[in-house]
Amino acid sequence: MKVSDIPRSELRDLLGRGDLLLQTTPFVTRIRSDVRKLAGEIALMYGDFPVCSPDTFADFHIEVAREAGLRRWINPLARFSFDGRRSFVPLPSAQAFPMLEWGLNWCVAAHAHQYLVIHAAVVERGGRAAILPAPPGSGKSTLCAGLVNRGWRLLSDELALYDLATGLIHGMARPVNLKNASIGVIKAFAPGAIFTEAVPNTAKGTVALMRPPAASVLHVAEPAQPAWVILPKYDAGAEACLTRQEKAQTFMLVAEQSFNYDIHGARGFRAVGDLLDQCESYRFSYSNLVDAVRVFDGLAEEASR
Amino acid sequence: MSLWAVREEALGCLRCWEDEASAVFYSVRSGDTHLVDSLALEVHDLLMARPMTESELLDALSDVIEPGRDAEAAQELRGYLLRLQEFGLLRESIA
């Protein structure tokens, strides 16, 4: 059964009881919430995701709950909890869905040490994955959203899961988190894409999430072979430009953008080295998504010859 | 007289790629990863062949040292080797 098969009132009941088990491959996430509008946003963004039965083992038990007392009614706040422990500061309840997404990212980054977890978007074409590691504000999610609206498969806009045993990349194909001007850019670039309402005044500015393409969700269990590590940078007015970058330099950035590189020690060092052995390494600047997609399509075509 | 050598625990912890001027080194001792330049790679390769004194290393590196700057180069090499020792790549021992 998928989320979209569940009537809204039942979805709200499942959330209220903490019985909504979302198959966020390769994990299962149990979600509890009494924030009323969250059911609608989960239905909108996770409609294509499978739902597991309540007795399924869940990797993450999370809750987005309204704060008690007066704050329940005046400028209501919501709080994120993980495994029953309150985490992070409460946020306005209008930010409940972005908070759920940020919280779930944190759950994966802080606990999924069977992977090297890299702060990177990942898209795939022809079985080959392009890994786009970058610090916030680089235009990584915008580029990712543009590519997945032009035939690339979404693995992740935020967390690349590098399997240390197989050397393959897994993704969760979850909603794409867009900020500020990039929301309008993607709405204009992909008029058919589905978004949450834009939420202003968050710590990251105005945010909106884009529903992942159904085909990406359908194939989420298929890992991809890393082929390119590309460091993106939005540069206003710049032509789309792909330049080779030394792998040693890229290594340092991947290590820096990995949440658990230090935890893995020498194994993490070997993993990043092995990842770069099988990839081409580039720096990419862009200001226009049409040109950016053309460059990426060119890479994929060249690799398939 | 002191001899320089690659630390045993550093074996397999230096990674480089063809035609690149930089390499990365993982220090087992500190858990830190360092970006090192092509000279470090050259020193590493020379010392993997056999431990050397600083003057032997200078001779081996004579191709990349500017002519007439031997004294300065010797002084800078010492500082450079000490830095690689601090990273955990090399060790200095008394011969």
The 10s digit of each residue's pLDDT in A119-147 is 999 999 999 999 999 988 899 999 999 99
Q: Is the pLDDT of residue A71 over 70?
A: no
Q: Does B63 or A195 have the greater pLDDT score? A: A195
Candidates A147, A177, A173, A148; CA nearest to A161 is A173
Q: Best residue in A116, A246, A254, A276 to probe B by mutation, most B CBs within 10 Å?
A: A246
Q: Is the pLDDT of residue B70 over 80?
A: no
Q: Is the pLDDT of residue A300 over 90?
A: yes
User: Going by C-beta distance under 8 Å and a sequence separation of 6 or more, which residues neighbour residue A164?
Assistant: A114, A115, A116, A264, A267, A271
Residues 234-253 of A with CB under 8 A from B: 246-249, 251-252
Q: Is the pLDDT of residue A207 over 80?
A: yes
Assess B69–A contact: CB distance below 8 Å, yes or no.
no
Candidates A169, A171, A182; CA nearest to A210 is A182
Least confident segment among A16-25, A202-211, B56-65: B56-65
Nearest-CA distance A158 → chain B (Å): 24
Contact A251 B15 (CB under 8 A): yes
Q: Is the pLDDT of residue A116 over 70?
A: yes
Rounded CA separation A133/A147 (Å): 15
| Collapsed DSSP state (helix, strand, coil) of residue A271 | helix
pLDDT for the residue A44: 98
Residue ranges per structural domain of chain A? 3-111, 115-304
Candidates A164, A167, A165; CA nearest to A225 is A167
Which chain B residues have a beta carbon less than 8 Å from that of A276?
A: 17
Question: Contact at 8 Å (CB) between A245 and B15?
Answer: no
Q: Is the pLDDT of residue B69 over 90?
A: no
Token digits of residue B24:
């990365």
Contact A249 B22 (CB under 8 A): yes
**ipTM score for this prediction:** 0.90
Candidates B33, B48, B50; CA nearest to A271 is B33
Q: Is the pLDDT of residue A190 over 80?
A: yes
A243 forms beta bridges with: A283
Residues 9-48 of B with CB under 8 A from A: 13, 15-17, 20-24, 26, 28, 31, 33, 35
Question: Contact at 8 Å (CB) between A215 and A249?
Answer: no
- The DSSP element (H or E) to which A169 belongs, if any, is strand A169-170
Cα distances (Å, whole numbers) of residue A266 to A30, A230, A255, B26, B33: 34, 24, 12, 7, 10
Rounded CA separation A214/A217 (Å): 5
| A26-39 pLDDT, tens digit each | 999 999 999 999 99
* Structure-token match 């002191």, residue found: B2
Count A/B contacts: CB-CB distance under 8 Å.
39
Alpha helices by DSSP H, listed for A124-244, are: 140-148, 181-189, 214-218
Burial code (b: 16+ CB inside 10 Å, e: under 16) for A151-181 equals ebbbbbbbbbbbebeeeebbbbbbbbbbbbe
Which chain A residues have a beta carbon less than 8 Å from that of B35?
A: 248-249, 251-252
CB atoms near residue B94 (< 10 Å): 6
Least confident segment among A117-121, A200-204, A252-256, A273-277: A200-204
Nearest-CA distance B68 → chain A (Å): 33
Contact B17 A249 (CB under 8 A): no
What's chain A's length in residues? 305
Q: Is the pLDDT of residue A245 over 80?
A: yes
Alpha helices by DSSP H, listed for chain B, are: 38-49, 54-60, 70-87
> What's the mean pLDDT in B16-27?
95
pLDDT for the residue A74: 73
Nearest-CA distance A266 → chain B (Å): 7
Question: Contact at 8 Å (CB) between A32 and A63?
Answer: yes
Contact B31 A251 (CB under 8 A): no
Q: Is the pLDDT of residue A170 over 90?
A: yes
Mean pLDDT of chain B: 91
pLDDT for the residue B62: 85
Could you give the angle at the alpha carbon of A227 between the alpha carbons of A170 and B42, nearest 5°?
A: 115
How does strand A20-24 pair with strand A51-52? antiparallel
User: Going by C-beta distance under 8 Å and a sequence separation of 6 or more, which residues neighbour residue A71?
Assistant: A77, A90
Nearest-CA distance A248 → chain B (Å): 5
Question: Contact at 8 Å (CB) between A285 and A242?
Answer: no
Question: Contact at 8 Å (CB) between A175 and A3?
Answer: no
- What is residue A75's DSSP assignment? S
pLDDT for the residue A69: 74
pLDDT for the residue A113: 97
